[in-house]
Structure 1
Amino acid sequence: MVSFPWRYRLFAATLLSCAVTDSCAARLWARTVPAEKPASGHHGGERQPDRVGSVTNMAALPEEIAVHGGMKTADGVTNTTPGGGLMPRETAPRSQSGVTRDYIAKQTPSTSIVNLMASLPGVVSAKVDPLGMAAGDMMTMRGLTQSQVGFLFEGAPEADPISYGISTATLVDSENLGSLTVSQGSPDIDAPLINAAGGQIAAFEIDPSHKAGGFIEGMGGTHSGNKEFLRLNTGDIGHSGIRGFASFSHTSTNNWRGPGRQERYHVDSKWVKEWGDGNSVKAVFAFTQQFNNGTLAPTLDQWKQYGYNYNLSGQYTPGDVTYYGLSRQNNNMINVILPAHFRLSHELELTTTPYFIKQWGPSDGGENIPVSGGYFGNVPYGTGTSSYEALDLPYQTNNMLSTVLRDPWEQRMGAVNTALKWTHGNNSLTFGWWYSYTSHEERYQFLLLDYAGRKVGGYGYDPIRFANGDILSGDNLNFWQQQNALYLADTLKLLHGKLELSAGFKAVMLQREGTNNVPGASAWKSGGNYFEPLPQFYATYHIDPHNQVYINGTTAFRAPVSTEAYVPDYDPNAGQISAVGNLKPEYTISEEIGYRHFGFWNFSIAAFNLNMTNHNISSSGYIPGSTLVVALPINAGGQTSRGIQGEFGLRPWHHFSPYLSGQYLHSTMDNDFAVS
């Protein structure tokens, strides 16, 4: 879809006044920095203080005032960040890149989080659809897939904790997205993640404004693409220290290829309470209701032969379960995150992040099932020796019934991540604990269709049942997992803060168990218990306020992917359609060495090496005779990835702020593995 978005903004009188006097005019601000000789090529660019230096040492240096001009519009554009908003200053002792509000606000309002990262080094992304609404955003980072990269939103993990899939469209509207930080090699030691074998992505929402007002935006394009967005800010509520916002958006479009459409309703809300010296409690809420009609995934030969025309049927004919009206994916979500920070004393800080996430379907697809000779679980029905009779129902065609395969899944996760930090002199010690519990239920059902493609209601038809009342199903799944993680990290600053040494250790304990309560399931119950030790080491040296070198060695892991790794799936056409493998968690050992320069021109380069064992590949295939897919987990053995990445960004100069990034990657699979 080629989209020509248009925007309109309407403001209340108070907001319009704020926008004219404070946001849309050029703003000047002063920054106190240590006096120094400008580096060659800076051309009077901004000089930043060394953030790791102590306050005492900074105060002892001569000072000068640097004044800078910039713009700030109502949607957050400032035109002050290097690289057009793609290269904020990073000081972490690892390869790390960022996306700021300055860049996000300039993009199409319907852009996805995955697409916002497409220009960063090591990241390759592809849209499933132009508006980023369909589930299954595709991204790789240093050659590893999106399911191997941890994703945090306001400190909470947002990927499915079992399959590790994520639909970033359900998280937050781009109008409310404040920043993204991408760590290409390793996760934070305190990150509540069990899939971050290939790094970490952290997203943060904008904070509520201190001034009351509102923001409204609209977009329109081809294929009936449209989005409407409204946000209202309370501003500071009296002297309570509380402020908040709430927003609502609606997005819809026709499918870019084939028949069908997509629609999304989304609510964001964030509230902040601040008091004292660095104490704060935040409440982040989000609700999403989204659906889309599916599209077929062609093979390369099918794409070459049919191109855009290879897709679901636009009209129903008896027996044709590729009719688009039978394929509908619903993705609904409730997200509650409560990050808090408390300064207990001059040396003690406590951070805690409780969160609750609920996701549910259903997902629908068409499937023809046998009247007799099929399977209920692993037990045949409609045969002389079966305890289950044939499905003697109307609307038969060649001993087959056309149905909607409905998968009404539901998943809930509750957790808390808490850390206590003690800072004494040049040393900081952090101890933390993360606990999480997840439950998942789903039960495939089959809804009978008449010859016009309409669902047939009534007992025995919706869903299809046997005479004894049992619901025909391929999956009757109950799955749960519980995890505990303890972590300890210590950071020591030496040489007046120029040298930082950090070491940490994390121990993750994970327990899983699942059942598939269909007849003949083998194994009907299975699980796994895992213990993963994860040491980390970082060292960085700040040569001066503009130059930094670092080196690190880290470990990470990803628990086996998908419920199919524990209990098999079944289908009326084929019986058992997935095999349970004895999968072990992926485990990675990574090393990096890098250099950064910050100033008028900004440059970062890093060389990396990653070794992985027990690489879990989660391939997928269509359920026989249907338009729904099933996961097929495989242990592919070892993998080695090596390469170099870099990025360059110029601070705005005469309205010119280019950004350039690149990566060379050499990745090999170190073992042969069987495919099927």
Structure 2
Amino acid sequence: MPAQPVRHALNGRAGSVLGPSVPQTEEISVSAGGRHADGTTNTTPGGGLMPVQTAPRSQSGVTRDWIAKQPQTGNISSMIANLPGVVYASQSPLGTAGDHITMRGMNESQIGYLFEGAPLADPINYEPYTSMLVDTENLGSVTVSQGAPDLNAPLFNAVGGQISATEMNPSHKYGGFLSLMGGTHSANKEFLRLDTGDIGNTGIRGFASFSYLSNNNWRGPGGLTRYHVDSKFVKEWGDGNSITAIFGFNRQEQTSWREPTAAQWRQYGTSFNYTPTYYPGNSTYYKLNFGDLNSLDVIVPMHFTLAHDLTLNVTPYFVHQNGPSVGGENIPASGGYYGTMQYGDLNQPYSYVNASGQRMLTTAGVDPWNQKTGAINTSIDWTTGINTLSFGYWYSYTMHEELSTFSVVDPSGRAANAYGRYPITLADGSILSGYNLNFMQQVNALYLADTLRLLNDRLVLSAGFRAAMVYRQGTNDVPGAAPYKTTGNYFEPLPQFAASYQVTPHDQIYLNGTTAFRAPESVEAYSQIFDPNASHAVEQPGSLKSEYTIAEEIGYRHSDGLVNFQMSFFNINLTNHQITSSAYIPNTNMLISEPINVGGQTSRGVQGEIGLKPWHHVSPYVSAQYLHSTMDNNVPVSATNAAGQSVIDYLPTAGKTTVGAPKVTAAVGLAYDDNRQFFGNFDLRYVGSQYSTFMNDQSIPGYVVSDITLGYRFPRVGRLKGPKVQLNLVNIGNNLYRSAPGSYAATARTQKGIFGSSVAAGSPVYLTGGNFAALVTLSTGF
């Protein structure tokens, strides 16, 4: 089909960073009517891994030239794994499970995720859940800001940077796109998108798509099924006026992965899984351990030109996410606990007697979390001469409900009464529960920014101030919960400054100073967690202090007709660092987030990337980062003194390397595309060793993973536009490895604290990287 130009949606002049109409991201939006049916144009340097950037901060991205050639089962996080400083920890070779990412020593809960300008991550535990946001076939671009969030972004957790994703724009022409995929692990995906094209002279165009995805787990029994709908409609008129309506729906069920300790990895390797058969007392039966990710998202970005020099931006959005998460557990048939209250006989069938002679029930512990957020982000920008003044306000309200229940498992291994729909109740009619949480969050944020352009726009100076106010209130209705009600009030002043200078049309230098904060993560930070096997809380509230960062960067970038290069040096000082550790509730298979306050952290380093535009159809790419991230304080820990009493002591962790922060990461890519028939990619990623304990006495070794893409485009056949076949080979060396710590511990060996008390050893668990996979995709436009 004839070539059409790529549309660069750069709102405002190059180098502007503050205010909605001058964002710090360069978002490249490719319509479905691009040069090829899949949206690729073969114009982005590095094979789609290095779009041109102008913002005065470290920033990288991917475009359709890269996204369309990756496995169609992937997600936003897996697409950016090769960018500098990004450490993506795979759990599935298909990219369908998990969002574990670190950047500059901070994980995904400390990184702000935006989709079409709205924060669709969980606003309390900050989990991004990118696998349910958008189908890869509709993903237009992803931009990563490794250290600094936008001043105007509706975020209050982005101490570690920001990831912004956009959907492809609807085509101006009527048509659609069909994709069929199959491969190893019984993977299959069917995707269909229909474009309306321009609807008469209304200025409206849009698309709607549906997909079905399923696969078996690559290790252990079980698998995934996913139903997904995307839709985007655009109305444009006048001088830059537009209204966009974005809708997403996701229904997904995934069998959980068991995460081994170091000892279990050595003994079992990839065989440490949930079991395929059931017997009474087997709480690790795979059908009792799974999670649902259900969501409905509505985003309506609006842009209005009020006058020649005055613009208004309004983005209302609504997000509904719910579970359940399910984990197997054996509980006492009588004499167990509901909170701190002991119950009598539960009068349930299918009990058994354990090795200690206690009568027990095997149950499915159901956590049907339910969360709704309504919000609006607004801003107004006034430009006069060389000056742009921006003012904005963001309001968000979230309700979160989480009532854990238990459902008895029958002799066939099926949880009775549809996984907790009719849960176990006590004699007085109360529902047996470990936690009954009701949580409310209200956010107000104001910002004011000014951008000054001097020397014919070569010198751009930006300064701004943001005030973020977060109020939280949580209750736990389980008997004995203390406190029953917890509140949190957070007010943080957040100044920013940035400057850039265009030395030549191809060379830019920049520097910035930024601040950010993160309110405490997860409802577990505010509430106790109970369990029928214990007379007291098995999880206590975490630290309620907020993280705060002060960061500086200085960088240089070069971009000409062939070579793109950028390098930056950074320094980040973080106070009240809340390291997030996933841990199992004792005696259960239910994971919860545990925020641990380890004090201060300092991260310093250098990152860079270089990519070539297609040269004789070849586009190489290289990225790397060196990170020196250390803990600033000694960590307080529970210990036992010489008299056998429980006390608080400190471990000498000051100066130790931060957990989950590899010193060296690198990626190499080589793309080939003749823009007619043949195309292919090769990429290789190296992630250095990572510590999992604050004392640096346990770690995982560094690892290498490499992938290959091979593809062929057929000539147009009838109404079929750009039919192609694509082969993706993932982890071609079938490297079996631990990809990241899944939890952290103070020490892996018994230690003496600073005051002489004995500190017990802990056992971190680990994520296991996916093995080899081969996927074949047939697709075509029409």
Does 2:404 match 1:444? Answer: yes
Match of 2:433 in 1: 473
Question: Match for residue 551 of structure 1?
Answer: 511
Q: Please report how far the alpha carbon of residue 52 of structure 1 lies from its aligned counterpart in structure 2 after TM superposition.
A: 6.1
- Per-residue deviation, 1:400: 0.7
Once the two structures are superposed, residues 590-621 of structure 1 have per-residue CA deviations (whole angstroms, 9 ceiling, x without a partner) of 00000010011111010000000000122122
Whether the 8 Å CA contact 1:536–1:555 is kept in 2: the answer is yes
Counterpart in the other structure of 2:554: 593
Residues in 2 aligned to 1:345 and 1:564: alpha-carbon distance in whole angstroms? 48
Letter paired with 2:350: Y
The one of 245, 252, 276 equivalent to 2:238 is 276
The question of whether the paired residues in 2 share the 8 Å contact of 1:493 and 1:499 is answered with: yes
Q: Report the counterpart of residue 397 of structure 1 in structure 2.
A: 352
Instruction: Tell whether the 8 Å contact from 2:488 to 2:544 is kept in structure 1 after alignment.
Output: no
The corresponding residue for 1:430 is: 390
Q: Are the counterparts in 1 of residues 407 and 420 from structure 2 also a CA contact under 8 Å? A: no
CA contact (8 A) 1:96 1:183 kept: yes
The SS at the match of 1:207 is coil
For 1:384, the equivalent position in structure 2 comes to none
Matched, 1:75 2:75: no
Shift of 1:95: 0.8
Aligned partner of 1:661 among 607, 623, 630? 623
**AA aligned opposite 2:233:** W
Give the counterpart of 2:72 among 109, 114, 121: 109
**Is 1:80–1:652's contact at 8 Å kept on the other side of the alignment?**
yes
In structure 2, C-alpha distance between the alignment counterparts of 1:461 and 1:231, rounded to whole Å: 35
1:226-265 paired onto structure 2 within 5 Å: 226-265=188-227
1:475 to 1:363, Cα distance in 2 relative to 1, 3 A? same
Is 1:500 aligned to 2:460, yes or no? yes
Q: Secondary structure at the match of 2:314?
A: strand
- CA offset at residue 457 of structure 1? 4.2
- Please state if 1:127 is matched with 2:127: no
Cα separation, partners in 2 of 1:475 and 1:28, compared to 1, 3 Å: closer
In structure 2, the partner of 1:182 is 144
Corresponding residue for residue 573 of structure 1? 533
- The superposition leaves residues 279-331 of structure 1 with CA deviations (integer Å, 9 ceiling, x where unpaired) of 00000000000001112111121111111211111000111111001112111
Judge conservation of contact 2:543–2:596 (CA < 8 Å) in 1: no
**In the alignment, what sits opposite 2:740?**
none
Partner of 1:524: 484
Shift of 1:455: 3.0
The separation in 2 between residues aligned to 1:306 and 1:663, in whole angstroms, is 33
1:412 and 1:458 map into 2 onto residues whose CA distance is 24
Q: 2: CA distance between counterparts of 1:241 and 1:460?
A: 49
Which position in structure 2 is the counterpart of 1:143?
A: 105
Q: Offset of 1:29 from its aligned partner?
A: 10
| Conserved? CA contact 1:423–1:429, under 8 Å | yes
Per-residue deviation at 1:267? 0.3
CA distance in 2, matches of 1:51, 1:127: 35
Residues 258 and 424 of structure 1: is their aligned pair in 2 closer, same or farther, counting only changes over 3 Å?
same
Q: Which amino acid aligns with 1:152?
A: L
Which residue number in structure 2 is paired with residue 46 of structure 1? none
Given that residues 520 and 543 in structure 2 are in contact (C-alpha distance below 8 angstroms), is that contact kept between their aligned partners in structure 1? no
After alignment, is 600-609 or 372-381 more displaced?
372-381
Q: Which amino acid aligns with 1:507?
A: A
Aligned to 1:160: 122
CA deviation after TM superposition for structure 1 residue 461, in Å: 10
Q: Deviations over 1:168-212 (max 9, x none)?
A: 110000110000111111000000001100110100000000000
**1:131 CA displacement:** 2.2
Q: Which moved more, 1:505-514 or 1:105-114?
A: 105-114
Shift of 1:453: 1.9
Q: Pick from 51, 55, 63 the counterpart of residue 100 of structure 1.
A: 63
- The partner residue of 2:154 within 182, 192, 198 is 192
Alignment of 1:352-501 (within 5 A): 352-381=314-343, 389-398=344-353, 399-457=359-417, 462-501=422-461
Out of 51, 70, 74, the position equivalent to 1:88 is: 51
Going from structure 1 to structure 2, the CA distance change for 1:417 and 1:30 (only over 3 Å counts) comes to closer
Judged with a 3 Å threshold, the aligned counterparts in structure 2 of structure 1 residues 191 and 461 are, in CA distance, closer, same or farther, namely closer
What's the CA shift for 1:581?
Answer: 3.2
Partner Cα separation in structure 2 for residue 581 and residue 108 of structure 1: 39
Cα distance, 1:352 vs structure 2: 0.8
Q: Does the aligned pair in 2 maintain the 1:293–1:325 contact within 8 Å?
A: yes
What SS class does the counterpart of residue 166 from structure 1 fall into?
coil
Structure 2 Cα separation of the partners of residues 416 and 244 of structure 1: 23
> Identity of counterpart residues, as a percentage?
60
Q: Structure 1 stretch 624-633 or stretch 507-516: which is displaced more?
A: 624-633
Give the conservation status (yes or no) of the 8 Å contact 2:288–2:415: no
Q: Answer yes or no: is the 8 Å Cα contact 2:6–2:41 preserved in 1.
A: no
- 1:636 matched to 2:598: yes
Render the CA deviation track for 1:39-88: whole Å, top value 9, x for unaligned: xxxxxxxxxxx9469xxxxxxxxxxxxxxxxx921001211111111111
Tell me the secondary structure at the aligned position of residue 268 of structure 2. Answer: helix
Distance 1:586 1:52 in 2: 29
Q: Please give the secondary structure, in 1, of the residue aligned with 2:619.
A: coil
- Which piece of structure 1 moves more, 102-111 or 124-133? 124-133
In structure 2, what is the equivalent of residue 347 of structure 1? 309
Aligned position for 1:11: none
Question: Which has the larger displacement, 461-470 or 652-661?
Answer: 461-470
Q: CA deviation at 1:30?
A: 14
Which secondary structure does the structure 2 equivalent of 1:325 belong to?
helix
Question: Which residue of structure 2 lines up, in the alignment, with residue 621 of structure 1?
Answer: 583
The answer (yes or no) to whether the contact 2:558–2:566 under 8 Å persists in 1 is yes
> Take 1:563 and 1:362, find their aligned partners in 2: how far apart are those partners?
16
Three-state SS of the structure 2 residue aligned to 1:533 is strand
Q: What is the distance in 2 between the residues matched to 1:213 and 1:596?
A: 40
Q: Distance in 1 between matches of 2:152 and 2:253?
A: 34
Quote the Cα distance in structure 2 between the aligned partners of 1:29 and 1:657: 18
1:224 alignment partner in structure 2: 186
Distance 2:14 2:588 in 1: 57
Equivalent residue of 1:77, what SS?
coil
Q: Amino acid of the residue matched to residue 132 of structure 2?
A: T
Which residue pairs with 1:9 in the alignment?
A: none
Distance (whole Å) between structure 1 residues aligned to residue 516 and residue 425 of structure 2: 46
Number of residue pairs matched? Answer: 611
Distance 2:492 2:483 in 1: 26
CA distance in 2, matches of 1:155, 1:504: 19
Q: Secondary structure at the match of 2:416?
A: coil
- Is the 8 Å Cα contact of residues 15 and 500 (structure 2) preserved in structure 1? no
What TM-score, normalized to structure 1? Answer: 0.88
Aligned to 1:14: none
TM-score of the two chains, using structure 2 as the length reference: 0.76
CA deviation after TM superposition for structure 1 residue 363, in Å: 1.3
Letter in 1 for 2:550: I
Runs of at least 5 residues in structure 1 that lack an aligned partner in the other structure? 1-19, 32-49, 54-70, 382-388
Seen in structure 2, the aligned counterparts of structure 1 residues 243 and 312 have a Cα distance that, compared at 3 Å, is same
State the shift of 1:459 in Å: 14
* Residue 285 (structure 2) aligns with: 323
TM-aligned CA deviation for residue 630 of structure 1: 2.1
Deviations 1:259-282 (A, max 9, x none): 001011000000000000100000
